[in-house]
Amino acid sequence: MSTELKYLIALTQIAGIGPIVGKELLRFFGCAEAIFKEKPETLSKIKRYGQQLAGGVSNPKLLHLAETELEFMDREGILGMSISDHRYPEWLKECPDSPAVLFLKGGGRLNEEKAVSIVGSREATGYGKEFVEELVRELSRFNVAIHSGLAYGIDITAHKEALRNGLPTYCTLAHGLDRIYPKKHTKFANQMLAEGGWITEFMSGTTPDRENFPKRNRIVAGITEATIVVESARKGGAIITANIANTYGREVFAVPGRVADERSKGCNFLIKTNRAHLLQTPEDLIRMMGWESKKSKLIQTRLFPDLTDNQVKIVESMQSQDQLTMDELVHVLNRPISDVSTDLLLMEFKGMVRQLPGKKFELCNQ
C-alpha cells in the first residue's frame, strides 16, 4: 500500500474536513503527505478550517489509524482509490462532493461502459419486484452494471436479478467493509465479489448509523449515469438519491404507481414535477439511454434528396460514431453552434436524428 494512501486516509479522518474541503486542500498542496508535513502553525492560518486541520495533522493517532486500516485492506484484498486513481469511477469523479478515498472489495472494475443505479422502497410490492426483475433481465442484453444499496425490497431484488443474469453488481454500503448490513444479505453480497463488489467511503469499524445513509446515497447517485426509482414513499432514501442525482446532472427515471399507494407517491411526485423521466417499460430506458442496436444505423442520404451539404456532413460524421454531443459536432464540422443546432433540429423533424439524455445525438434506425 502506498505512503500517499496512508496520509490520504488520515486526512479523511480529521473532524471538519469533508470531501469538498479535502479535495481543495489536495489541489493546493499537491498531495496528502505534503499537508501532514506542513507546519501546524502555517496550516492554522488557513481560513475557515485551519484550526481543525492543524490539530488533525498534529494528532499521531490518525496516522496510526490509517496504518491499521491499510493492514486490514491488505488482509481482506480491499482496493483503496484516491480521486486521482485511474481506477476511481469516472462518473463519481465528476461530483463535487465525491469521496477523496473510495474502498472496493471485489473483482469488478467500476468503470463499465454502461451502468445504472436502481433504488426504491424497502417494503416493495410484487409489482415493484416484478418490474425490477424484468428491467434487469432486459438490461442483461446490453451488459449493464447494476448498482444499489443492498437494502431490503427493491435494492436486493436488483442485486439478485443481476446475479441471475450474469451482470456485474455493486452494493454501496453505509459502513466499513468488515461487515455486511443487513446481515441477512451476506450470501448475496458474497456472490457479488466475483464480477462486482462492495463499495464504501467508510473505514472498517464504522457501523451503519443513520447519518451515514445519506452519504451512501450520494455515491449511489453519482457512480452511474442514470438512477432508477421503483416504488418510494414521498420521503425516504430513494427520493434523496433521486434528488442528488438531479443535482449531479444525471438522468433520473421513475416507475409510476397507483395514486393512492403510499409506496408510489414518491415516484409519482418525481414524474409530476419533471424530476424524473416516466419509465413504463425497460424499452423506455434503453431508448432514452441510446442503447438499442446500432445494426441498422447507416442512413442512405440519397433517400433524402433535400439534404444540404452541411447536413450530409452531419450524417457522415455521426455514421462513424454511435453518439456525438453538440460540442463534438461543432468541433468536427468547424461550424458555428447556432448553424449546427438549426440543422439538427431540421433533421429531427425529418426523423433522421434524435436527441438523447446528456445533450447527445444519434442517427435513427432506418
What is the model's pLDDT at position 298? 44
- 282-293 per-position pLDDT tens digit: 999 999 998 875
Specify whether the CB–CB gap between 352 and 315 falls below 8 A: yes
* Peptide bond connecting 168 to the previous residue in cis, omega within 30 degrees of 0: no
Name which of 300, 352, 356, 349 is nearest 328 in CA terms: 356
Between CA 333 and CA 341, with CA 339 as vertex, the angle to 5 degrees is: 90
Report the topology of domain 3-74: DNA polymerase; domain 1 (1.10.150)
Q: Which residues of the chain fall below pLDDT 50? A: 294-299, 302, 366
Between CA 144 and CA 153, with CA 149 as vertex, the angle to 5 degrees is: 95
What is the model's pLDDT at position 239? 97
C-alpha pair distances (Å), 281 with each of 81, 132, 154, 196, 293: 36, 10, 16, 26, 17
Could you give the CA distance from residue 249 to residue 226 in angstroms, rounded to a whole number?
9
pTM above 0.85, yes or no: no
Extents of the domains making up the chain: 3-74, 115-289, 301-363
CATH tag, 301-363: 1.10.10.10
Architecture of domain 115-289 in CATH?
A: 3-Layer(aba) Sandwich (3.40)
Strand 101-105 with 197-200, pairing: antiparallel
